[in-house]
């Protein structure tokens, strides 16, 4: 098969199941050798998008290109794409080695050579010595690595992961996602990775494609999405931002002066016009203090307070509305019902163009 990573391109792809539109006019390009995540809430069409790339579903409309070649009508077996399924989908009647060697054997590679290829990939994922075991004799994390080895063995142009961490415990999750990222960089793979966990997406991706209701809500680098959300949905979904109403009073070049809850701020304009605008405020961008600070501030009252070890989480009622606040200094805790002052140092606040 053709070596090297390939790009993946969607051109206005639509997938319908009867009356349900699972993917609705989606277009994107994933550069070769990068890791892109498809992020979004349950049912937004992530898995369907992944299966369209693999050829396990055929597009109703639009075009799909892999490495610049149109594969829209190609069957799954003809696409140089490997998938790690959410359930891992290991063959229960084959050993670990037979599972990993399945691809090359189907390909017509002599058994001995296929087994050698499989052994090499099993070693790569740290599973040497497990060759003779049955999948049922492995832990969840080990099964996941067999699935990765099986997918890697043909050195595919594109590697797909469907929520690969969802069956692992919280600790293992962090390690495995780093392993996947490391592998992607070391082997220079194009990886498309599905998750509904925004932290996971921000941590591993070069590029995040946020989906909502079968469409793309925003695509960009993790920093882009976090700092410059394109709409309410992205602002809320990534980092639980507070979306509040504000007034734009003055424009100068690409900067704009905005007033919210009596506090004036200078923000990037992002195409907004004078008048009412929407602003996203990160929960950790809001500063709480017991006494009125020197900077402009708005009064508020603590609703709920929760201690989470590294930080406190509050809901605060104020002129800006109901706010979700994260305070990184749990030693200075406010009790529910306490009167506080809210100020905005300026970072972590952005105009949402919508």
Partner 1 sequence: MKLGWIIRGVLLGALAVAVFGPLVNMLLWAVAERWYFPAKLPIEYGFSYWERVFRPRGNAMESLFNSVVIAGGTVALCLAVALPAGYALARLRLPLRSLILLAFLLPQAVPNLAVYINVARIFYSLGLNGTIAGVVLVHTVHGLLFAVWITTAAFAAVDRELEQAARNMGAGPLRTFFTVTLPLAAPGILASAIFVFLESLDEFTGTYFVGVPDVMTLPLLLYNASAGGNYQIASITALILLIPSIGFMLFVERFLRADVLAKMGG
Ligand X SMILES: Nc1ncnc2c1ncn2[C@@H]1O[C@H](COP(=O)(O)OP(=O)(O)OP(=O)(O)O)[C@@H](O)[C@H]1O
Find which of Mg ion, partner 1, ligand X, none residue 45 binds, CB within 5 to 8 Å per kind.
Answer: ligand X
> Which of 121, 196, 207, 228 touches ligand X (CB under 6 A)?
196
Shortest Å distance, C-beta 320 to ligand X: 32
| Interaction residues for ligand X, span 17-36 (CB under 6 A) | 17, 20, 22
Alpha helices for 66-221 (secondary structure H) = 96-106, 111-124, 140-152, 170-186, 198-204
Find which of partner 1, Mg ion, ligand X, none residue 113 binds, CB within 5 to 8 Å per kind.
Answer: none
Q: Count CB neighbours of 204 within 10 A.
A: 22
Shortest Å distance, C-beta 196 to partner 1: 19
Is 225 a binding residue for partner 1 by CB under 8 A? The answer is no
Q: Which residues contact 35 (CB under 8 A, 6 or more apart)?
A: 181, 184, 189, 191, 193, 204, 205, 206, 207
**Which is nearest to 352 in space by CA: 254, 249, 236, 257?**
236
Find which of ligand X, Mg ion, partner 1, none residue 114 binds, CB within 5 to 8 Å per kind.
Answer: none
Is 122 a binding residue for ligand X by CB under 6 A? The answer is no
> Which of 39, 46, 189, 204 touches ligand X (CB under 6 A)?
46
CA distance 281 to 261: 13
Q: Are 258 and 277 in contact (CB under 8 A)?
A: yes
Q: Which two three-digit tokens encode residue 53?
A: 């790339």
Shortest Å distance, C-beta 28 to ligand X: 15
Interface stretch with ligand X, choices 42-50, 60-68, 231-239, 291-299 (CB under 6 A): 42-50
| Interaction residues for partner 1, span 144-183 (CB under 8 A) | 150, 154
DSSP per-residue string spanning 199-236: HHHHHH-SEEEEEETTEEEEEE-HHHHHHS-SSHHHHH
Q: Are 276 and 264 in contact (CB under 8 A)?
A: no
> Which of 27, 87, 128, 213 touches partner 1 (CB under 8 A)?
87
Residues at the contact surface with ligand X, assessed by CB under 6 A: 17, 20, 22, 40, 42-48, 196
Residues at the contact surface with partner 1, assessed by CB under 8 A: 54, 56, 75-77, 81-83, 85, 87, 89-94, 102-103, 106-107, 134, 136-137, 150, 154
């Amino acid at each position: 098969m053709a070596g090297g990573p390939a790009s993946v391109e969607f051109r206005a792809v639509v997938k319908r199941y009867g009356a349900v539109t699972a993917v609705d006019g989606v277009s994107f390009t994933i550069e070769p050798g990068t890791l892109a995540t498809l992020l979004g809430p349950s049912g937004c069409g992530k898995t369907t998008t992944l299966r369209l790339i693999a050829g396990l579903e055929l597009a109703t409309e639009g075009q799909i290109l892999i490495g610049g070649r149109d594969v829209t009508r190609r069957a799954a077996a003809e696409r140089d794409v490997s998938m790690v399924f959410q359930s891992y989908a290991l063959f229960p009647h084959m050993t670990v080695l037979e599972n990993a060697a399945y691809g090359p054997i189907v390909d017509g590679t002599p058994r001995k050579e296929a087994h050698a290829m499989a052994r090499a990939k099993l070693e790569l994922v740290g599973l040497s010595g497990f060759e003779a075991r049955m999948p049922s004799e492995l832990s969840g994390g080990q099964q996941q690595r067999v699935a990765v080895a099986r997918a890697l063995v043909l050195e595919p142009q594109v590697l797909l992961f469907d929520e690969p961490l969802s069956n692992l415990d919280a600790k293992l999750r962090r390690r495995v996602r780093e392993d996947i990222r490391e592998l992607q960089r070391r082997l220079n793979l194009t990886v498309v990775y599905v998750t509904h966990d925004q932290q996971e997406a921000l941590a591993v991706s070069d590029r995040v494609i946020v989906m909502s209701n079968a469409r793309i809500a925003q695509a960009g680098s993790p920093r882009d999405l976090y700092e410059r959300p394109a709409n309410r949905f992205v602002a809320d979904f990534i980092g639980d931002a507070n979306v509040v109403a504000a007034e734009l009073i003055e424009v100068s070049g690409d900067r704009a002066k905005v007033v919210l809850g009596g506090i004036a701020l200078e923000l990037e304009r992002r195409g907004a016009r004078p008048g009412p605008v929407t602003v996203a405020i990160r929960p950790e961008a809001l500063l709480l203090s017991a006494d009125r600070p020197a900077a402009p501030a708005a009064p508020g009252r603590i609703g709920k307070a929760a201690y989470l070890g590294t930080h406190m989480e509050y809901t605060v009622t104020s002129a800006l509305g109901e706010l979700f606040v994260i305070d990184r200094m749990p030693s200075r805790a406010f009790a529910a019902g306490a009167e506080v002052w809210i100020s905005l140092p300026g970072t972590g606040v952005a105009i949402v163009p919508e």
